[in-house]
């Protein structure tokens, strides 16, 4: 198994705003994709509670993520339950900690079966979306899909 790993520092006084951007529909639509919603239950619920499934849609496809863990201002973990075959069963982890003026985001997209070309594409896209997250928290404006940096088609 192989993983995508990134580390980003977000200038903020504490991890609360980063956590909010990772756990609310409003936050997620501000940096990842504007087409984000709960699969069932209350649409726009305030936070991504454990066991809930979030649907993320993009112009070329999408993913459904089950929230596996959510510890306020510390950690968020999703399991991919639907999407491209390469993503199914993988996990996406966000660990947060404060270091001076920055919240450090340690990002892992774990459990890829092999480092296929699509994984390389996704690693680059995750990097650009992490910069969108940083921008959202620091300036109030991210670059979610479909306004994100276009690097190529998915495959």
Which pLDDT score, from 0 to 100, does residue 150 have?
84
Tokens of 72: 């306020």
Which pLDDT score, from 0 to 100, does residue 155 have?
45
- Rounded alpha-carbon distances, angstroms, from residue 151 to 11, 33, 44, 121: 26, 16, 30, 8
Provide the pLDDT confidence category of residue 58 given band limits of 50, 70 and 90. very high
Q: Write out the H or E segment, with its range, that includes residue 35.
A: strand 35-38
Among 134, 80, 66, 135, residue whose Cα is nearest residue 112 = 80
Model pTM score: 0.92
pLDDT digits (tens, 9 = 90+) for 134-154: 999 999 999 999 999 888 665
Res. 43: pLDDT tops 70: no
Map tokens 């639907």 to a residue. Answer: 82
Provide the pLDDT confidence category of residue 51 given band limits of 50, 70 and 90. confident
pLDDT digits (tens, 9 = 90+) for 80-134: 999 999 999 999 999 999 999 999 999 999 999 999 999 999 999 999 999 999 9
């Amino acid at each position: 198994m192989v993983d995508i790993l990134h580390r980003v520092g977000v200038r903020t006084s504490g991890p609360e705003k980063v956590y909010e951007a990772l756990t609310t529909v409003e936050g997620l639509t501000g940096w990842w994709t504007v087409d984000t919603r709960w699969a069932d239950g209350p649409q726009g619920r305030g936070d991504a509670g454990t066991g809930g499934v979030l649907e993320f849609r993009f112009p070329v496809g999408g993913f459904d993520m089950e929230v596996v863990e959510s510890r306020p201002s510390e950690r968020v973990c999703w399991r991919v339950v639907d999407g491209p075959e390469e993503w199914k069963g993988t996990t996406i982890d966000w660990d947060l900690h404060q270091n001076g003026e920055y919240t450090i985001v340690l990002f892992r997209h774990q459990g890829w079966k092999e480092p296929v070309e699509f994984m390389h594409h996704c690693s680059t896209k995750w990097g650009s979306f992490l910069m969108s997250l940083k921008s959202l928290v620091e300036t109030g404006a991210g670059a979610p899909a479909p306004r994100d940096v276009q690097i190529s088609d998915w495959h």
